[in-house]
Structure 1
Amino acid sequence: MTMKLRAVINFLLLTCASWCVYSDDDRLMVNITLVQNASAQGAVCLDGSLPAYHLDSGFGDGASNWLLEFEGGGWCNDIKSCLERAQTRRGSSNYMNRTEVFAGILSNNASQNPDFYNWNRVKLRYCDGASFAGDGKFDNGTSLLYFRGQRIWQAIIHDLLPKGLGSAAKALLSGCSAGGLASFLHCDNFTSYLPSNASVKCMSDAGFFLNIKDISLNETIKSIYNDVVSLQGVQQNLNGNCTSSRSDPKQCFFPQYALPYIKTPFFVLNAAYDVWQFHNILVPSSADPGQTWSHCKQNLTACSSDQINILQGLRNDMLGALSVFYNSSNSGGMYINSCFVHCQSEQQDTWFAPDSPRLNNKMIAEAVGDWYFGRRETKEIDCAYPCDNTCHTKMS
C-alpha cells in the first residue's frame, strides 16, 4: 500500500472516530476447506476427522502474498481432557463452523486492514491440542486418540503450496494464543517451504506464555506443558538447537526458550498483563482455593494494592523474558502494551479502528505493518498500568 493511501485511511479513521460503525452485515464469512487427502498421511484431528482451514484469496498487488493464521484454543494434557476435547470443535472438524468470520488482520477491507487486506489469508483450524506440534497416538482398545498436530500442519501446507503458496513473494505466519505459540514452534519450518527469495516473517499474538510460578509458588503451567509434550509426542518436533542446549528439553515448548533460536524475522505482540496468563498461569483456581482473587479477576478496580503489585510482577517477568530479544540488533519487532486483554490481532476493535489501542500513537496494525515492510524499527513497550488510557480491557 502506498504511503499516500495509508495517510488517507488514517485521516478517515481519525475523523470518523465518533460515528464510524462496523456492521455485522459487513463481516467477511469464509467457507471451510477440509484437507481431503490428509488421512492418508495420518494427519487427522484428535477424533480421526479431517483437518481444515479457511482461505480467502488475495487480489491485486497482494495476489502473490500469503498470511497464515493459526487458530488458538488451549491444550489438552491428559487422556481425559483430550477425550473431552475430541467431542468439540477443538478436537474434531465435525463440530467446526462451516464458515468463519475474517476480521482484523484477516479482513479484506483496506480501511480495516491496510497492509494485508488483499493478501491470500488463511485460518488454520486447531484440532489437536498441542499447538500443531504432536505426533503420537493413544489406543487402549476402548478409546482412540490421534495426536497428529505436526502432520496436520504439514498436510495443510502441502495442500496450499499448489494453490499459490509455493510461489509466494511475501508471507507472514501468525497465530493467536495457542496458535501464537504454534507460530514460535513452526516459524523456521514455514520458511523452508517457500522460495528462497520470498520475504518470510512470523508473528505471535498473545502466545508468549511465561514459565513462571503461580501465587502459591507452584509450577502450574510448567506441569501442564510437560504433560502436553510427553502425552502428545511433541519433543521430537521442538527446535533441535533449543532442546540440545537445555537440561530439560521440554522447556523448549515455552516461547522464551525457543525464540533465541528462531532464524526467521519475528514479531512479538502481547499484552503485558495478558488476561489468560493472569487467570490461568499466575492465579489459577488451584492456587486460590479461598477465591481471594475472584473479584480482582472480574474487575480491576476491585484489586487490592498487593494484588496490583503482583500483577506488576507479571509485566516485569514478561519484559525480563523479552529483554535479550528487545536489546538485540536483529530484525525482530515487538508491541507490548499494558492492557488487560488476550489476543488483539483478529479483533477489529483492537487491530485497526478509530478507538484501537495505541502505543506511542501507533495502532497495532500500523506497528506490525511498519515492521513487516521495513518502514521503521518497531520495538514498542508500554509504561506500566494504569498509564495507558487507550486499552480495551477484556477480563474474560
Structure 2
Amino acid sequence: MISQRLRRLILSQKWTKKEWTVAAAVSLVVLMYAFSFLSESQSKDRSNGAQPFGSSSAVSVPLTLLRNSKEKGAFCLDGSSPGYHIQKGFGSGLESWVLHIEGGGWCGTIEGCSSRRGTQLGSSNSMDLQVQFSGILSSLPSQNPDFFNWNKVKIRYCDGGSLSGHPEAEFTNGTTLLFRGQLIWEAIMDELLSLGLSNAKQALLSGCSAGGLATFLHCDDFREILPKDITVKCLADASFFLNEKDIAGQNTMASLYQSVVNLQGSEKSLDKECLTRTESSKHYQCLFPQEFLMNIKTPLFLVHPAYDFWQIQHIFVPDNSDPRGEWFRCKRNILQCNSEQLEVLHGYRNSLLKILDDVQQKKKFGMFVNSCFVHCQTWMTETWHSPNSPRINNKTIAESVGDWYFGRKDVKHIDCPFPCNPTCRNMDMLHSILH
C-alpha cells in the first residue's frame, strides 16, 4: 500500500499533466523499493563468503551532504546541499569503486520543478537520512557476487535534469529554482576523489532511469577524471529512452526533453558530436541515448527491459493519447493486454532492437535486454541476483555484468519476445495502485 505521507505528497501538488506522468513513475519506483526492502529484510543470506558487518540483512547507510557545495555553487533545486551515501570497501575491494546515480524523472517547467522543491527529488532537506544498500550496492556476496566488497556510493538525485543543468538558465522572475546539475556532478566527483576514488584500481559508474541517463551523459567524463591505467566502465539501467512517437502520433517524450533542455540549460552537457550534426532547434534530441551512444568511448553495459513499464506508460501510451482508456489495464499490467495490444508492444520492442543493432557490433559494449515488464533492475536484489531473478541464457543480470566487466566473456544477451521468459518478474502496476 502507498504510504499516507506519499499519498498526501502526490495529492498536494499542482502539476501539469506532463509532470504528473513523472510523479506517477516516481511513486511506483518508491513502491518497488518498499517491496524490495521488505522481501530482503525477511530473507536470510546463505552465503559462506565474508559478511563484514556481522549481519545477513541489508545495511543502513547514512546520508552525507556535500561538504564543498557552497564553494562549488552546487545545489539542489531549492538551494540545499546535494547528498550521497557511501560505504567503504573491504578486503580485496579496498581500491575498487561502484557508484550508482538514483533516478526520479525530470522537470521541464517552472511549475513542475517548483513542485519538486519540497521533495527528496529537489531538496536534501527531504531526503531519507538512512537508505538500504541492495542489488548492485549490496555487501553480501550471495546477492552481489562481483562487487560486494567494493567501495559503494549512491548519489542522490535532486536537480530534475539528469545532472545536466547550468546556472545560466536560472530564472529570476520571482522563482528561486536553481539548475546546477552539471555542477553537482563535478562537485560530488571532486569530493569522492578526495575520499579515495583517485586511488581506485577499478571503477564502475552506474545509474537507473534518469540516473542512468546521467550515466550516459557523464560516462566519458568519469573515465577522464580517473587514472589512465585502471579499468573504468559504465552501466546504464532502464535509461535507453526512445525518441518514438506515441500511439496517437504525438512526440510526447521529445516534448518533455525539449522543455528540460530549454529550462535547465542542459545543452552544454550534451554530446558535442551530436550537437554538431543536429540543427540548433533540435539540440534537445541529443538527450536521447540513441543519438550519441556510439560516440561514447568508455566501455558501457546496457541493462534494459524491452517492455519497460515506464516507457510504455509515459512515452508510448501516455494518458492523453488514450482518452477512452482502452490501454488502462494493459499498460499497468502486461498480462492484461489483448493480442492486438501485445502486437503493438512487440513493435515497440522491435524499434529498440533495431536501434541496438550497432551496439551489438561494438566489442567493448555489453547488454542484457530482457522481456520483462519492469523498470530498473540493478538496485533491487530480487532482480539483480537472487534465486528468483530474471535470467537470459541462465545468467542473472549480476552474473552477466560481472562477466562483461572482468572480461570473462562477451555479453550481449537479448531475450525472446514476451511472454517467453518464465523468469521475468513482471510488475502488476494496476494491483499496486488499487491496493
Given the two structures, how large is their TM-score scaled by the length of structure 1? Answer: 0.93
- Give the deviation of 1:198 after TM superposition: 1.0
- The one-letter amino acid of 2:387's match is P
| Backbone CA RMSD of aligned residues | 1.4
- The one-letter amino acid of 2:317's match is V
- The one-letter amino acid of 1:258's match is F
- Give the deviation of 1:250 after TM superposition: 1.8
Question: Residue 100 of structure 1 aligns to a residue in which SS?
Answer: strand
In 1, the alpha carbon distance for the partners of 2:419 and 2:143 equals 28
Match of 2:284 in 1: 250
In 1, the alpha carbon distance for the partners of 2:154 and 2:380 equals 14
Question: What are the superposed Cα offsets for residues 26-69 of structure 1, whole Å, 9 maximum, x if unpaired?
Answer: 12110010012212221000000001000000111110011110
In 2, the alpha carbon distance for the partners of 1:78 and 1:297 equals 26
Match of 1:21 in 2: 43
Match of 1:14 in 2: none
1:310 matched to 2:341: no
1:345 matched to 2:378: yes
- Give the deviation of 1:297 after TM superposition: 2.1
Structure showing the higher strand proportion among its residues? 1
Question: What are the superposed Cα offsets for residues 266-324 of structure 1, whole Å, 9 maximum, x if unpaired?
Answer: 00000000010010000011111111111112333321211111110111111111111
Unaligned runs of 5+ in 2: 1-41, 46-54, 430-435
Q: Give the stretch that moved more between structures: 253-262 or 20-29.
A: 20-29
1:42 matched to 2:73: yes
In 2, the alpha carbon distance for the partners of 1:167 and 1:128 equals 29
Q: Is the 8 A contact 2:207 2:215 kept in 1?
A: yes
1:84 matched to 2:128: no
Match of 2:418 in 1: 385
- The one-letter amino acid of 1:206's match is A
In 1, the alpha carbon distance for the partners of 2:76 and 2:157 equals 8
- The one-letter amino acid of 1:102's match is F
Match of 1:265 in 2: 299
1:374 matched to 2:422: no
Please point out which of 66, 71, 75 is paired with 2:106.
Answer: 75
**1:1-396 maps to which residues of 2 (within 5 A)?**
21-22=43-44, 26-136=57-167, 137-247=169-279, 248-326=282-360, 328-396=361-429
- Give the deviation of 1:21 after TM superposition: 2.6
In 1, the alpha carbon distance for the partners of 2:351 and 2:60 equals 39
Unaligned runs of 5+ in 1: 1-19
In 2, the alpha carbon distance for the partners of 1:225 and 1:46 equals 18
- The one-letter amino acid of 1:88's match is T
Given the two structures, how large is their TM-score scaled by the length of structure 2? Answer: 0.85
Q: Give the stretch that moved more between structures: 249-258 or 50-59.
A: 249-258
In 2, the alpha carbon distance for the partners of 1:302 and 1:220 equals 24
- Give the deviation of 1:393 after TM superposition: 0.4
Question: What are the superposed Cα offsets for residues 182-240 of structure 1, whole Å, 9 maximum, x if unpaired?
Answer: 11000000011100111000010001000000010000000000110111010111111
In 1, the alpha carbon distance for the partners of 2:56 and 2:178 equals 38
In 1, the alpha carbon distance for the partners of 2:240 and 2:363 equals 18
Match of 2:32 in 1: none
- The one-letter amino acid of 2:240's match is F
Question: Residue 62 of structure 2 aligns to a residue in which SS?
Answer: strand
- The one-letter amino acid of 1:340's match is F
Q: Is the 8 A contact 2:305 2:373 kept in 1?
A: yes
The count of corresponding residues between Structure 1 and Structure 2 is 376
Q: Is the 8 A contact 2:56 2:140 kept in 1?
A: no
Q: Is the 8 A contact 2:333 2:427 kept in 1?
A: no
